[in-house]
Amino acid sequence: MLENNFLRAAGLLLALSPFSAVAAEQSLTVYTYSSFTSEWGPGGQLREAFEAECDCQINYISADDGVSLLNRLRLEGASTQADVIVGLDDALIEEAKQLNLVADHQLDLAELDLKAELDWQDEFFIPFDFGYFAFIFDSEKTQPVSSMQELLASDASVIYQDPRTSTPGQGLLIWMQALYGEEVSQAWQTLSEQTVTVTKGWSEAYSLFLEGEADYVLSYTTSPAYHQVAEDSNRYRAAAFSEGHPRQIEVAAVSPHSDQPELARDFLQFLVSQQAQEILPVTNWMLPVIEDVNLPAAFDELIRPQAVGFTPEEIHQQRQAWIREWRSAVSQ
């Protein structure tokens, strides 16, 4: 009896569970990270806009974040369904190239009108938004510090993300490395004494911060714009550090295993169009990569930091060593 019921239940579940999504014809499969496709992310609006002009169907498949996205592509190899990969960043560019996960985009960069400050030359990846990492604080509770050095000297509590799983975490890794070089271990140890927790992803850290678990959380300079636009509040602000801030450029590319590279290239082109660039800042909360985009006033009040950091090649070569150094230092 028991067994019969078990069997029936298991069979029923088996029949109901969608094990694989069936891909329709003329569909473009876009691999991205999950907050991109969440209900408040840019995924929905971008899909609508692109489908209106391409006569095709966009099918998103999302991984947790940029790093998982890369791991997934690496595991799938040539059997991947991806046509377009959206959401790796400049720190992962080199690794993706070496693993042959991306194809030449064949677009003329000069025609794309990218911002000069990006100085974009890459022939595989197209940037679609960018931002600067920064520590966010609650202006009603915290008197902000003005440099990393001051932060480490204070006894303020901090939440940041694991550099192995999260792009802001990796940003901090680069930041600390750029500022402290040889003495980074010492700096990490100082920071670890102020650390409430190291979370796996950005959203965990940010929610913990909003619940009042820490004075500072690692995020982007654009985060205050979100609170301004969505909640009409200027309570949360980014601390401007005199040493400069690391920059993250989010990029997209065509998969070498795509069977419709034309359509995929159209999508890349679309991502840097005026239309998409107006959607991205207010959904992904990053800065547009082209000039003269219409943005809410809140974006004018954001801090405009100096960029510090390393080239993608340097990051690629050093990343593992940096992570080990971080891991050892903070587990002392």
In this complex, which beta carbon is closest to another protein, that of residue 62 or of residue 228? 62
Is residue 304 close enough to count as binding another protein by CB under 8 A? no
| Cβ–Cβ under 8 Å, residues 246 and 309 | yes
Binder among 45, 57, 149, 192 for another protein (CB under 8 A):
192
- How far apart, in whole angstroms, are the C-alpha atoms of residue 159 and residue 312? 26
Nearest by Cα to 270 from 37, 84, 93: 84
* Contact status: 190 vs another protein (CB under 8 A): no
Contact between 32 and another protein per CB under 8 A: no
Pick from 199, 248, 258, 283: which binds another protein (CB under 8 A)? Answer: 199
Question: β-strands 126-138, 287-288: how paired?
Answer: antiparallel
**What is the size of the binding site for another protein (CB under 8 A)?**
53
Dihedral (Cα; 260, 36, 201, 242), 10-degree rounding? 110
Q: Which of 46, 136, 198, 276 binds another protein (CB under 8 A)?
A: 198
Does residue 6 interact with another protein by CB under 8 A? Answer: yes
At closest approach, how far in Å is the CB of 79 from another protein?
A: 6
Positive/negative CA dihedral, 59, 171, 304, 126: negative
Interface residue with another protein, options 10, 23, 307, 321 (CB under 8 A): 10
When asked if residue 7 is in the footprint of another protein (CB under 8 A), the reply is yes
Q: If binding is defined by CB under 8 A, does position 154 make contact with another protein? A: no
Q: Which of 207, 306, 311, 317 binds another protein (CB under 8 A)?
A: 207
Q: Is 108 in the site for another protein (CB under 8 A)?
A: no
2 makes contact with another protein (CB under 8 A):
yes
Piece in contact with another protein (CB under 8 A), picked from 108-116, 233-241, 298-306, 320-328? 320-328
Of the pair 2, 52, the CB lying nearest another protein is at 2
Alpha carbon 215 to its chain centroid, in Å, reads 23
| Residue 317 interacts with another protein (CB under 8 A): yes or no | no
Asked if 266 interacts with another protein (CB under 8 A), we say no
Range in contact with another protein (rule: CB under 8 A) among 71-79, 253-261, 281-289, 294-302: 71-79
Q: Does 82 bind another protein (CB under 8 A)?
A: no
Q: Does 203 bind another protein (CB under 8 A)?
A: yes
Q: How far apart are CA 280 and CA 163, in angstroms?
A: 24
| Residues within the interface to another protein (CB under 8 A) | 1-3, 6-7, 9-10, 13-14, 16-17, 19-20, 34, 62-64, 67-68, 71-72, 74-76, 79, 162, 164-165, 192, 195-201, 203-204, 206-208, 210-213, 323-324, 326-328, 330-332
